[in-house]
Structure 1
């Protein structure tokens, strides 16, 4: 009985949290960010300020979820995130991974779907913060380079989507291309959640039988120079680096599944 009540409460509380998240996004887009555009004429300065607002909002959202008993979490190696110009790569087991990371990382930038610029709950934040859009074609790499050069901390999920419950980890080559062509070492973040929740294709109301616990491990940087030096071309270096990252993040997946 107690377990059933706990699960029902977490389902209702999860719905409340996501409703609040959506409402907050709309209010920020309608009230806060338009005011910032009027008060701050410099796009770079405005983007940094917008990211601070987003970080504060995401911290509030994470705190709300923890306070209502929806989830718990812990972070290891957080001090490694207290730098500038980081290229942060992470695996992607859950819908709210990006929310956690952007709550943890100062001046965080990320690659987002262009569709988010048209959604009423997200268009305000993503446009005000100057995030990199994934449909910019040849300009995507230049956008990533400009973001890193400006001191932003760029967050990328190499899988491009949430990790499926079944099947192996499949990384796209885009993240490795950014690392190789921009000459940036990688700050890897391994994310686990037990029991699994908010995975690919799972609705928000499909809550697990017990409260999920997230663990974020910020590991030592992965040097990119060895891959650049050992390969005959940047394309081949990116391929080798993608293979390495696949093995690297798959170890975490195998550990959780075991």
Structure 2
């Protein structure tokens, strides 16, 4: 074997060994991050359960939402430090301290609400009933005064109340995560138009982009994705609240649907 062939073979062996080490590190980083998440939830949830019973509703909201923001901010710092994720969430900082509005993102994965709540203070999230009943997430979410969407009438009343109180309301217009093969966005639900009209609150669209299907619809939490995962959130168009008549509400939803379809078109040039 010539010297050149030996050098090529040695380089190939080093590349293979480097790839194996990188794969092993990704596994360690991913499952370590899950372990930390479980420990944080197991520590916080009993405390949140207790605080909900001793604090007033207003104090519970303040403490609960501050804890959500701080804990998830630190957790995302950990993910970044481990090399598991890359985050570009700086656009959300412009929303702090602004008048109450509806924050309306697209919904590619389960982390979407946490990405936003980690950067926008006092965010009130609209959540599904199964989140409220989850032993890991429920106590903290209920302490924070998040709204359960199990009753349309109750949801609208509570959402309007939060906006009138001055809190930003995080509401996913699709109502569920965008499924694979569903296109860029699911058909939007009409509730967001009703809430915006009754509260006379603007709707700030948010565009969430990721290069992974991790925690998308059908993805099990223990299934390791390719790392690192990139998440980017940018501010979209801000819509003025619609009128209360049926035509205005329907037109608002149609315009919102067109906006998301255009922004999330995979063929659209990206900056």
Q: The TM-score by the shorter chain falls in which range? A: 0.7 to 0.9
Pick aligned residue for 1:215 from 223, 232, 251? 232
The separation in 2 between residues aligned to 1:186 and 1:245, in whole angstroms, is 10
Asked if the contact 1:47–1:129 (Cα under 8 Å) also holds between the matched residues in 2, the reply is yes
CA contact (8 A) 1:77 1:218 kept: yes
Equivalent position of 1:191 in the other structure: 208
C-alpha root-mean-square deviation of aligned residues, in Å? 2.3
Partner of 2:104: 89
Unaligned runs of 5+ residues in structure 1 are: none
Structural mapping, 1:1-258, within 5 Å: 1=16, 2-3=18-19, 5-35=21-51, 37-38=53-54, 40=55, 42-82=56-96, 83-168=98-183, 169-170=185-186, 171-224=188-241, 227-228=242-243, 234-255=245-266
- TM-superposed CA distance for 1:86, in Å, is 2.1
Number of residue pairs the alignment of both structures matches = 250
Higher alpha-carbon Rg: 2
Q: Do the aligned residues in 1 keep the contact of 2:64 with 2:141 (CA within 8 Å)?
A: no
Structure with more contact order per residue of length (Cα contacts < 8 Å, sep ≥ 6):
1
What is the TM-score with the length of structure 1 in the denominator?
0.87
User: Structure 2 stretches of 5 or more lacking a match?
Assistant: 1-15
Aligned-pair CA distance for 1:185: 0.7
Segment drifting more, 72-81 vs 111-120: 72-81
TM-fit CA distance, 1:182: 2.1
Structure 1 residues 163-215: Cα deviation after superposition (integer angstroms, max 9, x where no partner): 12212322222222221232211111111112443221122344444522111
Change (3 A) 1:136 1:59: same
CA 1:79–1:53: 2 relative to 1, 3 Å: closer
- Tell me, in whole angstroms, the C-alpha distance in 1 between the residues paired with 2:165 and 2:131: 23
TM-score between both structures, scaled by the size of structure 2: 0.83
**Secondary structure, in 3 states, of the residue corresponding to 1:159?**
coil
**Does the CA contact (< 8 Å) of 2:92 and 2:116 recur in 1?**
no
8 Å CA contact 1:29, 1:124 repeated in 2: yes
Please give the alpha-carbon distance, in whole angstroms, between the structure 2 residues aligned to 1:221 and 1:77: 14
- 2-structure distance, mates of 1:257, 1:198: 24
Q: For residues 100-154 of structure 1, what are the alpha-carbon distances to aligned partners after superposition, in whole Å with 9 as ceiling and x for unaligned?
A: 1110110010111122222210121011111111013311110000111111111
Distance across 1 between alignment mates of 2:136 and 2:26: 23
Deviations 1:9-43 (A, max 9, x none): 334423332332233223212125514643x3x21
In structure 1, C-alpha distance between the alignment counterparts of 2:146 and 2:268, rounded to whole Å: 33
